[in-house]
């Protein structure tokens, strides 16, 4: 039950982040709903296809469809409350990757996959919806910029497995790993921490 709650909360967070981007692009109501839907289920769909879940989760459970529709309506109705669009988008996107990372990891464990594969699966689950959203909205996906994004998911995944032997209550394990992802992302953006670029512009001087 707790695992499904995390999945639903992640769906809500990503659906709202999709709505915010779509409204920023001045899409019509149908476009807003489509972007919200793709953002919310994109990572989970990829995850389920990779582990052989057929049909994928959201097709088997209408709760996710209702949650996405309700989240879309909520975000549109209260768009004035979310007027600081960039900050709101960042917040909901960050919450989404934190929750979806642990959901993806747990799905991999249930499928009997190696821990490293589980971490990769959790990272893809967390990132793919946002990547699809940004591509459809003609934006460069955050994961392809210098920002700390997928790295936060990987560290959260490593934390999950590092603490797995010490915490008997799996719910606490989910919460801690998810918070690690969220906190790392928040700190990275707050203090402008990014990964170094491997590309050096010709003529650029060394520091």
SS3 category, 137: coil
Backbone angle region of 81, left / alpha / beta, with phi > 0 → left and psi within -120 to 50 → alpha: alpha
- In this prediction, residue 83 has a pLDDT band, given cuts at 50, 70 and 90, of low
C-alpha dist (Å) from residue 168 to 52, 146, 165, 171, 174: 29, 36, 8, 9, 11
Q: Give the orientation angle of helix 85-110 with respect to helix 150-163, to 10 degrees.
A: 40
Note whether 128 and 42 are within 8 A (CB). Answer: yes
Q: What pLDDT shows up at residue 53?
A: 92
What is the token pair recorded at 103? 């959901």
- In this prediction, residue 143 has a pLDDT band, given cuts at 50, 70 and 90, of confident
Q: Which residue has the tokens 């996107």?
A: 93
CA dist 153 and 155 (Å) reads 5
Cβ partners under 8 Å of residue 57, min gap 6: 7, 44, 48, 64
Whether residue 200 is predicted with pLDDT greater than 60 in this model: the reply is no
Provide, rounded to the nearest whole percent, the portion of the chain with pLDDT above 70. 93
Q: Which of 63, 44, 40, 62 is nearest to 53 (CA)?
A: 44
- In this prediction, residue 73 has a pLDDT band, given cuts at 50, 70 and 90, of very high
What are the φ and ψ backbone dihedral angles of 194, each rounded to 5 degrees? -145, 165
Cβ partners under 8 Å of residue 162, min gap 6: none
Note whether 97 and 124 are within 8 A (CB). Answer: no
Whether residue 207 is predicted with pLDDT greater than 50 in this model: the reply is no
Provide, rounded to the nearest whole percent, the portion of the chain with pLDDT above 90. 73
CA dist 146 and 158 (Å) reads 21
Q: What is the pLDDT of residues 19-72, one digit of tens each?
A: 999 999 999 999 999 999 999 999 999 999 999 999 999 999 999 999 999 999
CA dist 167 and 160 (Å) reads 10
Q: Which residue has the tokens 């990372």?
A: 101
Whether residue 18 is predicted with pLDDT greater than 50 in this model: the reply is yes
What are the φ and ψ backbone dihedral angles of 147, each rounded to 5 degrees? -65, 150
> In the predicted model, what is the mean pLDDT of the chain?
91
C-alpha dist (Å) from residue 22 to 28, 29, 162, 166: 8, 9, 38, 43
């Amino acid at each position: 039950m707790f695992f499904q709650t995390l999945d639903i909360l992640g769906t809500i967070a990503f659906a709202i982040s999709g709505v915010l981007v779509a409204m920023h692009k001045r899409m019509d109501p149908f476009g807003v709903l489509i972007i919200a839907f793709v953002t919310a289920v994109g990572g989970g769909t990829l995850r389920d296809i990779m582990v052989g879940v057929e049909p994928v989760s959201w097709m088997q459970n209408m709760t996710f469809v209702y949650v996405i529709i309700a989240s879309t309506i909520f975000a549109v109705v209260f768009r004035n409350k979310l007027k600081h669009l960039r900050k709101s988008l960042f917040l909901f996107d960050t919450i989404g990757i934190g929750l979806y990372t642990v959901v993806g990891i747990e799905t991999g464990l249930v499928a009997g996959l190696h821990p490293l594969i589980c971490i990769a699966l959790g990272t893809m689950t967390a990132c793919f919806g946002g990547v699809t959203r940004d591509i459809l909205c003609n934006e460069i996906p955050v994961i392809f910029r210098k920002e700390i994004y997928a790295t936060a998911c990987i560290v959260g995944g490593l934390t999950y497995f590092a603490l797995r032997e010490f915490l008997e209550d799996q719910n606490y394990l989910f919460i801690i790993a998810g918070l690690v992802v969220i906190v790392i992302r928040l700190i990275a953006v707050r203090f402008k921490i990014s990964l170094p670029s491997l590309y050096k512009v010709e003529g650029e001087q060394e520091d």
